[in-house]
Copies of this chain bind each other. A is one copy, B any other.
Amino acid sequence: MPEKILVETSARHIHLTEQDVVDLFGEGHELTPRKYLSQPGQFACEEKVTVRGPKGEFKMSVLGPTRKSTQVEISATDARSIGVQAFVRESGDTAGTAGALLIGPAGEKEISEGVIVAKRHIHFTPADAAEYGVENGEIVSVKVETEGRSLIFGDVVCRVSESYALAMHIDTDESNAAGGPTSGEIIKQ
């Protein structure tokens, strides 16, 4: 088996369409990269958006570049905290998920869906996928070893694309449940 893979924890964040950047930050506004992420071309922005649900709100970082659909990614703990239902979904699969009110410095916008709890997943390049012997869409397990909170994540989706870099992404609930892991071992199911 190849070596362990990088495990990264995604805190709550939002992806925006070009139109929503305009509506929330004003005409002509462009996202300002603050920090580049492990996935090529992806970055955390200086911009923040407040996402409000029936019971509360969070101010969260925008992740760029802009996308075809606006999507809010929160943990199930966050979902409960702001009073929206937690839908565990793959990125982009937002039909029928929770909505929220988005509040930016230049405007507000209600979205009727797009709030998801990201399904845990691993990004592979085709070369990495070949090395680990997995295919796009395959479900694997990942074993993480930490001080006092080791566990084996099941139901981990493999996603393969030339535009990716090898990394597993988990949310803050998953990271906390596993003692904040930074690497893991893929186990074929």
The oligomer's copy count stands at 2
A interface residue numbers (CB < 8 A to B): 75-77, 86, 88, 119-120, 141, 148-155, 170, 172-174, 176-179
A172-B77, A173-B176 given as contacts; is B155 within 8 A of A152 (CB)?
Answer: no
Q: Are A151 and B151 in touch, CB under 8 angstroms?
A: yes
Chain B residue contacts of A120, Cβ below 8 A = 149
Nearest CB of B to A122, in Å = 15
Output the least CB separation between A94 and chain B (Å): 15
The reply to whether B179 and A178 form a contact with Cβ atoms under 8 Å apart is no
Q: Enumerate chain B residues within 8 angstroms of A76, measured Cβ to Cβ.
A: 176
Residue contact A151 to B148, C-beta cutoff 8 Å: no
